[in-house]
A and B are shown apart, each in its own frame.
Chain A
């Protein structure tokens, strides 16, 4: 099993529950560049420590928000490609339908792959609804644009005999010929993320790595099943290696249960405030299907962020959930190293196996010292046990 340390590089100083919106229209006068400078250096230090402890590294990007200073995952990846030594560098992901130029993405990803000596794990994602406004990108037919961007990126990475022509429906390049070409051949491992079985199946058909975020045991099982169907349909074999799936949860470890739980609760504020977005930007037209928009309008609480079921069938609304709710759902792991290990094993066995555990080990107000202590405890006392128990050769349980 690979375990990835993830942080969205929050700017916690102005990230308070009383603000009507933390995203899109939050004025940047609230962002002190000197403070942002300290935070960037701090988060890089934490990723470097994670690298030394045997973690891999995950990043993503968000825009116009105090919740995430990584406005370009590629820029931070370029730094980490140079200053880390062993970690796989996962971006999950590059919002390929919000970027104007897919060839530029292929170039940047290839640079990062080469600088890191072949450590890039390349996620391509659709992006969350409130990223549409900052990118001013067209919210209709996004997945058509996604796959066309994907096609040109993969072709750019795998074509080595000179320039080719691409005149698609959305993207036009008459002379595509990227330098450098990627270190990893034929291209870095490709990931995508989803919360729906239909998309999981489509990722499976292509044999790519499927990431899912904080869906809990029940939803993740469904995604596994759909992915496996797609994987078999794609002709990759009947058994799905566990490294084809990644799952993101929150995690905090400490010497005492109380301390671990207190830290996890601070990280969990990330999820609780996730829907704190000015309303119109949460539901761009076309981002959700008409059927999904219809169901949302007809639901009892159209403003609900996301409701999950616990394994015992109790609904949990994420914006108001307690830490115990999150732990019960398998969205947070928290406590002493032994407790965290047990919680993770219970979750992983519950979903039938997992090759990539993505852990938000820093979030919200959790400060540098506590983050360092938490990931150091995990790295020394939990990570070796997980690596011994879940070996890469494992396949998903049927």
Chain B
């Protein structure tokens, strides 16, 4: 979630879907797909990323308030929408970064088309089913009280958690839209595409998978197995971090992405 107060939101019309987009910084292209959990705030992270490059961070339709005549309603739609965004802005050599739900979208984009990509970074990404059918790989956001979910998202909930009732009206509404939009995209199958793991071998750019060592939504083991499905990928833990590790440690995670992306 990128908070309503952040400046630099511009509206980009992608074939009839208006996407509110955070744009900032100069340098190499970084497309950032935000985590959509209503309990975290990605704003500090996108500003950290903007210190290292030209950041384009769309608010997922349903969370942003752009008009959408296409009724974007699936992760499949989002993957093509953002590939179109990259085409439309004529972005080259993109470092594509996605966190949590945004990581799922990034993976779906990369299996479709890596032509415009230079690096892929997945942070505590959702999107694949790895365990047995009775095993819940990804905790149920909608069957868990917010207080418990916050503890899954942050190693230090007191420091990084968001108290919804203290938010501005605009921010609260945006978070309630996120809660709904995330359900629209990932209710069933729950936060994954059963076929995605078949195609992860198609990812043809260097990939870094980063994971909170205390991720309570999807475990580091899940992250390691996910990474193993992507040829040549690196897996790294973020120390003392929950599921939203980039929100807990924005400067460190952004800095690691910079060194990964600059290492040609």
Contact = CB atoms under 8 A, between A and B. Distances in A.
A286 B180 contact: yes
A279 B144 CA distance: 8
Interface string B119-147: 00000000000000000000000111100
Interface centre among B142, B164, B188 (most CB of A within 10 A): B142
A54 to B, nearest CB: 45
Contacts of B169: 294
**B contact face: mostly helix, strand, loop, or mixed:** helix
A286 B176 CA distance: 9
Band of interface residues on A? 10 to 19
Given A136-B188, A138-B188, A290 B180 contact: yes
- In this complex, the interface size class of chain B, counting residues with CB under 8 Å from chain A, is 10 to 19
Nearest to A144: B71
A290 B187 contact: no
Interface in B159-208: 164-165, 169, 172-173, 176-177, 179-180, 182-184, 187-188
A288 to B, nearest CB: 9
Given A136-B188, A280-B145, A285-B183, A297 B164 contact: yes
A180 B121 CA distance: 58
Nearest to A133: B143
B38 to A, nearest CB: 9
A141 interface: yes
B173 A290 contact: yes
Contact of B183 (A281, A286, A293): A286
A139 interface: yes
A140 B180 contact: yes
A391 to B, nearest CB: 47
A284 interface: yes
Interface in A127-150: 133, 136, 138-141
A294 B184 contact: no
Contacts of B184: 138, 140-141, 286
Contacts of B173: 290, 294
Contacts of B145: 279-280
Nearest to B144: A280
Interface of B: 142-145, 164-165, 169, 172-173, 176-177, 179-180, 182-184, 187-188
Interface of A: 133, 136, 138-141, 279-281, 284-286, 290, 293-294, 297-298
**Top 8 closest pairs, chain A to chain B, by CB:** A285-B183, A140-B184, A286-B180, A285-B180, A285-B179, A290-B176, A293-B176, A138-B187
28 contacts: A133-B142, A138-B183, A138-B187, A138-B188, A139-B187, A140-B180, A140-B183, A140-B184, A140-B187, A279-B145, A280-B142, A280-B144, A280-B145, A281-B143, A284-B142, A284-B183, A286-B180, A286-B184, A290-B173, A290-B176, A290-B177, A290-B180, A293-B179, A294-B172, A294-B173, A294-B176, A297-B176, A298-B172
Given A298-B165, A298-B172, 8 more contacts: A133-B142, A140-B184, A141-B184, A279-B145, A280-B142, A280-B144, A285-B179, A297-B172
